[in-house]
Structure 1
Amino acid sequence: MSAANPQGGGAPQKEVSVNEKGKPVYKLGKGLYWRLIWTLSGNFLFLLALYNAVISIFLPNQVANVVQGDAAQNTIALASIMTVSSFITVFVQPLTGAFSDRTRSKMGMRTPYILAGSFIGGFAICMLAPQSSMIGIGICWVIASVTLNIMNGPLATILADRVPEENRGVASGYIGAAQTGGGTLGIIAAGWFANHTLSGGYLFFGIGIFVVCLIFCLLNREPNTKQMDVEPFNWKEFFKGFWVSPKKNPDFGWAFIARFVMYLGYQGVVAYQLYILRYYIGLDDASSNTIVGVMSTIQLFALIISSVVCGYLSDKFQARKPFVFISSIIMAVSYVFPLFMRTETSMLIMAGVLGIGYGCYMSIDMALMTQVLPDNGENAGKDMGVLTIATNLPQMLVQPLVAVLISIFASYGSVFITAIILVLASSFLILPIKKVK
């Protein structure tokens, strides 16, 4: 694909050519390039803010208000909703991506999904506000999860559609920073909304997600794709693409299992921070809503510093496994503090130490994964997509896991112990990998 260098001078180019199959080939000048990057980053910032606000603060508070039970009852109720929504949406993004590739309309390939998904998803978020039953909350959240994923898949594909490979590193950096910052800002804002007006919080994020998507689509319009060729969709090949033989590719298999186990341990604590502060540490509702935001801020700063330092050192020494191993150990150590000290201070210490460990892990894990891809990365897109399952599936499984632990042991201490075991296990699962130093 040919494209003007976005770093160069000259007036923005608005031309969109087509290749031999009629597919749009974007030639972005400096102005259009940065408009795309800033608006796309803004979309992901708001989307991650919405997800973290709703999942970490709004839903736990709303479920607790509806159920009005103890720690176990509220945890099981929340886990039920999150498990159902996660199970239903697990294949939504890859399916939507495949369908949008084949969509032909005056609005383009991605825009119909982005606008429809954000409108319906935003409306479902707004409709969560008046719900006073678990059924109502569950239905609204499932609709929101499905439709926001329908929006998210095509939105994430915009980078590959419009930005040439030589410029994707910088673009990915901006988007990654926006996602990280958005997640933290979402929790901070949600803490304020939860203490003042939970309904107002739902309306803010529900309306806001459609507004930012509409602005993005208006400022970065797609060309008419009705003349494009349409490749037939093969269900067998689609699902076959999710399988990579661990026998033929043992390093890939070990990397997949290690990432899966690590995220299962990590999500078990992160997803239930509000309930941990409330039912394990013993803070009141208002304090727990506020402290979650403080913890997220501490973790963000620790994560940024750690990821930069570890990424630099890993490249300097051309070593991946030692850093992934050490980062997993650090994460496990962070969970020890609240396990033995049930105080607000211990949770703040955990946030800082966890940020150091997770930041190091994130900065190295992706590089390690790219080095264990089958066939020397010839099918990198598909295989990296398979690896995302090792991140997404734990988010689904951790809900019933935590619910079972709380039901049996009646304490979030059991969640910390399980997280320590899982994260430590993941560090040792990296060791059998042979391709990477």
Structure 2
Amino acid sequence: MGECGRGLVSKENMGMSASQSIEAGHDDSTSGKSSGVEGALHELANQTIGVAQRARFLFGFLLCGILWYAPFAAAIGILLPQRFLDDGVGNPTALVAQLNSIGAFVALAANLLWGTLSDRSRSRFGRRSPFMVVGAALAGLFLWLTSVVGSPAMIILCWCGAQLFLNMLLAPFLAVLSDRVPENNRASMSAAYGLGVTVGQSVGQIVGAQLIHNLGFGILLSGVLLGVTGLLVVIIWPKEPSAQNLPAANEGLGSLIKAFTPPTKNCRDFYLALFGRLFMVTSMYMIVNYQLYILQKYIGLDATGSAAVLSITAVIIMIASLIASAVTGPLSDFIQRRKILVIGAALIIAVGFLIPAFFPTAWAMYAWAGLYGFGYGVYNACDQALNVDVLPSKAEAGKDLGILNLSNTVGQMAGPVATSLIVMAFGSYQLAFLIGAIVLAVSCVFIAIIRKAK
């Protein structure tokens, strides 16, 4: 592992070092290379990490969730939709859906691209760290540009750039959970990341609501925070081992095509997790990205009243998620159970959807926020750990997690599009809540029949 990786493990549990395992597994054949990488990563991920290293990983996962999600939540949830209203766009609901759907297509391809390229990287700085630093910086730049350009088409183009490079940060970042975190710590790390995302969502919503009349500064601040995310996380985490000793990635067009091919062996549970997550995320984003319009057009508040309610719901979501994540992550690691917790999270969120469906008031949205926040906290505490548990190959964790994260991207795209179509066809946000609850129930079926995870 070399000097840079020694801080990851305690001396009592090192045994054969990861670098020795890498070199021992080195083989000129394709199978030899695959087994060499697989064995080395398995050795690294299953060694014990010390208390200080665990704390650094936890804080890094938490901070990344906050710093990437807060800017995006503020931008897509409040600042850009309000800009469309201020600019007098004819159909702002449809434009938000357009922004989400086109950007999501870019993110869908980018997640797989950057995950696969980081799997094949052999940098002396590690497989993941360089992508994270560069990706965050470029994502922040393009996010800021959405406030500079004038036309809706250019805003969409810059948003696509932000999505492209955001996934250059996230795909390698999430692969670290498989690469460097022992199995009995994964739910805690997943909980820290999920907690960060939840806090980021709430902070982004609160700050976005406060800056609703100062959109330019709000998006500039969002871009700066996002831009430094990768560098800060890489500094906080224990230094990533060099990847130079890993067996070289196979070259040639055939090998490159194979590297981007979804798994075909030992992958039943992998695809069940993918579709379970797809339906879960779709349902959540049917509502989350339309809170401003729900408050204004379904409940009947003006911009100022909506901003006040958004600030309160953000705090409720954050507190509920903090409690749920803090309890669920360690609990999942202790009992070594993932599925029942994810299913419970979906059912809690579904109940939350039904309240504003039948009671279109600000107080109903507060109730939704409490149940959604708690369920979302439980879900985020176990979701990434469940995904890692069902991976077919550790050597291709970046690519396979990238594919799993496509469900996240597609869900973020499909949810707003579904709501937009429902509102345009039926003029009803109530129906969006009801359909969202049904979609959550469908997600439970896919999660329940996974075999590999308990």
Question: What TM-score results when the alignment is normalised by the length of structure 1?
Answer: 0.79
Report the secondary structure of 1:132's partner residue. Answer: coil
Q: 1:328 aligns with which of 346, 351, 356?
A: 346
Answer yes or no: is the 8 Å Cα contact 1:335–1:350 preserved in 2.
yes
Answer yes or no: is the 8 Å Cα contact 1:267–1:395 preserved in 2.
yes
Is there any run of 5+ residues in structure 2 with no aligned partner, and where? 13-17, 27-35
Residue 243 of structure 1 deviates from its aligned partner by: 4.8
Of stretches 107-116 and 294-303 in structure 1, the one that deviates more from structure 2 is 107-116
Paired residue for 1:80? 98
Paired residue for 2:223? 206
Query: Residues of 1 paired with 2:171 and 2:333: CA distance?
Result: 31
Instruction: Indicate yes or no: 2:277 matched with 1:259.
Output: yes
User: In the alignment, residue 283 of structure 2 is paired with which amino acid?
Assistant: G
Report the secondary structure of 2:212's partner residue. Answer: helix
Paired residue for 1:346? 364
Answer yes or no: is the 8 Å Cα contact 1:243–1:386 preserved in 2.
no
Of stretches 265-274 and 328-337 in structure 1, the one that deviates more from structure 2 is 328-337
Query: Residues of 1 paired with 2:289 and 2:379: CA distance?
Result: 18
Answer yes or no: is the 8 Å Cα contact 1:100–1:154 preserved in 2.
yes
- 1:265-298 superposed Cα distances (whole Å, 9 cap, x missing partner): 2221112112111221122123323322321221
Q: 2:72 aligns with which of 51, 57, 68?
A: 51
Answer yes or no: is the 8 Å Cα contact 2:131–2:168 preserved in 1.
yes
Query: Residues of 2 paired with 1:340 and 1:407: CA distance?
Result: 20
- 1:275-323 superposed Cα distances (whole Å, 9 cap, x missing partner): 1112211221233233223212212322343456667888999877665
Residue 57 of structure 1 deviates from its aligned partner by: 1.6
Instruction: Indicate yes or no: 2:412 matched with 1:395.
Output: yes
Distance 1:266 1:242, change over 3 A: farther
Paired residue for 1:302? 320
Answer yes or no: is the 8 Å Cα contact 2:194–2:381 preserved in 1.
no
Query: Residues of 2 paired with 1:258 and 1:379: CA distance?
Result: 24
Q: 2:257 aligns with which of 236, 258, 282?
A: 236
Paired residue for 1:407? 424
Report the secondary structure of 2:228's partner residue. Answer: helix
User: In the alignment, residue 178 of structure 1 is paired with which amino acid?
Assistant: G
Paired residue for 2:159? 141
Query: Residues of 1 paired with 2:354 and 2:294: CA distance?
Result: 14
Paired residue for 2:31? none
> How many residues of Structure 1 are paired with residues of Structure 2 in the alignment?
423
Greater RCO (CA < 8 Å, at least 6 residues apart): 2
Report the secondary structure of 1:240's partner residue. Answer: coil
Residue 90 of structure 1 deviates from its aligned partner by: 0.4
Report the secondary structure of 1:194's partner residue. Answer: coil
User: In the alignment, residue 58 of structure 1 is paired with which amino acid?
Assistant: L
Instruction: Indicate yes or no: 2:134 matched with 1:113.
Output: no
Query: Residues of 1 paired with 2:52 and 2:84: CA distance?
Result: 46
Residue 368 of structure 1 deviates from its aligned partner by: 6.4
Q: 2:86 aligns with which of 61, 65, 73?
A: 65
Is there any run of 5+ residues in structure 1 with no aligned partner, and where? 10-15
User: In the alignment, residue 372 of structure 2 is paired with which amino acid?
Assistant: L
Residue 7 of structure 1 deviates from its aligned partner by: 7.7
Distance 1:150 1:408, change over 3 A: same
Residue 80 of structure 1 deviates from its aligned partner by: 0.8
Q: CA RMSD in A?
A: 4.2
- 1:358-414 superposed Cα distances (whole Å, 9 cap, x missing partner): 44444566676677x488x88894766554333332112223222211111122122
Question: What TM-score results when the alignment is normalised by the length of structure 2?
Answer: 0.76
Q: 1:178 aligns with which of 196, 204, 215?
A: 196
Q: Identity of counterpart residues, as a percentage?
A: 29
Residue 188 of structure 1 deviates from its aligned partner by: 1.4
Paired residue for 1:293? 311
